[in-house]
Amino acid sequence: MKTGSIFERASTPSAGIVDIGDSKQLFVDDLLVDEASRISRYQYRPTKYADNPVMVADYPWEQGKYGGKNEGVEIVGQTVLYDDEEKIFKMWYVSWALDKGRRPWCYATSSNGYNWDRPELGLIEFEGSTRNNLLGIHGEPSYYNCFKDHRDPDPQRRYKAQGEMHGPGGHNPPGGMVNAYSPDGIHWTYNNKAVVLYPTNVADANSVLGWDHLREKYVGYFRPGHPLAHEIDNIGQHRHIRTVGYAESDDFEDWTDTRMMLAPDTRDRVDHQYQYFTAGIFGEFYLGFLMVHKTHDQVWDVFLMSSRDGFHWNWVDRDMPFLYRGEVGSYDAGYLMPSGPILHNGQIWIYYTGFSGAHSANPTRLGERCVMTINLATTPEDRWAGLLAGPNQGRIITRPIIFKGSKLLIDVDASVPQSVPKDVMNFDECEVRASLTDQSGGRIEGFSFDRSTQILESGKHEMKWEGADLSQLEGKPVRIHLEIRSACLYSIQFV
């Protein structure tokens, strides 16, 4: 019987003084937190759109049922974006297979993110008509990941897609991940040559981040194959635990060898596998969606991960899904597959495939209908996770930081807001104060708790100290001390 690790890994300590400049600091990791008392981690849970699904299989080319009982439309990998230039949402999706396993690749747009249009593209004939939104009907290769690349100087490569092409007998060379390019996201040129080869560097189920402007690389999250992946023992063939790999490219054509990035460990339930991974970049933070497959139940939920370098990840809450399945009989009872998060109009938009059945040879174990639909969940901007204080006052002390700016903004969510300050407050009413000390904890004149702003309600507030000039401390190591009651702290930022 396999047990946990024999040797304990050493931790990787953070720098003694953290230079945060004027960047927004989200509390999705503990880099800034040196001490905390009566404080809990709080993970926000997205709100599923009340009128989900936003996309169902309404048209004949979307209603294939090849090879079993599954049906519907889905997004796989990074496939939805908001186009700031054209002021519309765009989606590239696939429907379940038609004859011979061919899957329609389709295009849709939306002006508001809720109601989606299928433009008549006139490209592909289906049942005698080109009045449809088909980009192609693909057997081999098939495409799913798609993103807009603003930095590529070649306008014919403005949009990039990546999919999968099998080799002889399945996941074998010369098969792997293949690219396609387009000037407008509609008219595509296919290269039909694998740029990431089976079996080691990719097995299947890949997703791409796209262009990572922090690392200045294209980034792909490829599921590793043999011999990189963890092999399942004693079954007489090469089969592997699903894991998440990482690769980079300068040009989207030549990729580094895949490295193992995320794999189940001894804290996971013994049947857990890591099914898919998608991510987005917000400021200097990477926020990722890890789909944890429960092999015994043949379902999965989505867990939130955070990173500051795009490769080393933290669980925001390992015990609670960020995006969770619905009850048996609902549209997402079996699993959810989100595209990367989108920031638009003060909200985070998360589009995801919801499947009502099980990921199994017997998908009807959760009900007779096994339908894929495309759905939406949203959360306010920056509301990923925070530091929560209850009725008993909590305290937070940061590591020594160096900042740039003359103002400190603090984003809090009040349990119950106070309308005006008062001498005797109710136990569930919000109150937040702050003080600043030097890096050793020594008092800095003028920046004590009794001179600070008293934050009483939700929102982004400037923390001030009566009679003090914060700009005088710019570039000097300081610690922030916070007293919090009945509120959740989501971010801080010097400006």
Structure-token pair, residue 267: 């804290």
Residues 6+ apart with CB under 8 A from 314: 28, 29, 305, 306, 307
What's the pLDDT score for residue 230?
85
Please give the torsion angle defined by the CA atoms of residues 149, 150, 155 and 160, in that order, rounded to the nearest 10 degrees. Answer: 10
What's the pLDDT score for residue 364?
86
What's the pLDDT score for residue 425?
74
What's the pLDDT score for residue 1?
38
Lowest mean pLDDT among 2-6, 85-89, 255-259, 328-332: 2-6
Q: Indicate the pLDDT class of residue 12, thresholds 50, 70 and 90.
A: low
Q: Full-prediction pTM beyond 0.75?
A: yes
CA 444 and chain centroid, separation: 40
The number of beta carbons lying within 10 Å of the beta carbon of residue 424 is 4
Which amino acid would we find at residue 152? D
What's the pLDDT score for residue 174?
85
pLDDT in tens, 93-133: 999 888 878 899 999 999 999 999 999 999 999 999 999 99
pLDDT in tens, 135-183: 999 887 888 899 999 999 999 999 999 999 888 777 778 889 999 999 9
Taking alpha carbons only, the member of 422, 426, 428, 354 closest to residue 388 is 428
Taking alpha carbons only, the member of 282, 332, 331 closest to residue 304 is 282
Instruction: With a cut of 80, say whether residue 205 has pLDDT above it.
Output: no
Q: What is the mean pLDDT of the chain?
A: 93
pLDDT in tens, 39-54: 999 999 999 999 999 9
pLDDT in tens, 278-294: 999 999 999 999 999 99
Instruction: With a cut of 60, say whether residue 477 has pLDDT above it.
Output: yes
The number of beta carbons lying within 10 Å of the beta carbon of residue 155 is 8
Structure-token pair, residue 174: 């010369």
What's the pLDDT score for residue 421?
67
What's the pLDDT score for residue 206?
86
Lowest mean pLDDT among 13-22, 53-62, 124-133, 213-222: 13-22
Q: Indicate the pLDDT class of residue 420, thresholds 50, 70 and 90.
A: low
Query: b/e per residue, 168-197, with b = 16+ CB within 10 A?
Result: eeebeeebbbbbbbbeebeebebeeebbbb
Burial class, 421, CB count within 10 angstroms (exposed 0-12 / middle 13-18 / buried 19+)? exposed
Separation of alpha carbons 247 and 143, rounded Å: 19
Query: Three-class SS of residue 61?
Result: helix
Q: Distances from the Cα of 222 to the Cαs of 92, 103, 177, in angstroms?
A: 20, 21, 9
What's the pLDDT score for residue 67?
65
Instruction: With a cut of 60, say whether residue 2 has pLDDT above it.
Output: no
Mean pLDDT of 315-329: 96
How wide is the angle at C-alpha 117 spanned by C-alphas 382 and 75, nearest 5°? 55
What's the pLDDT score for residue 489?
98
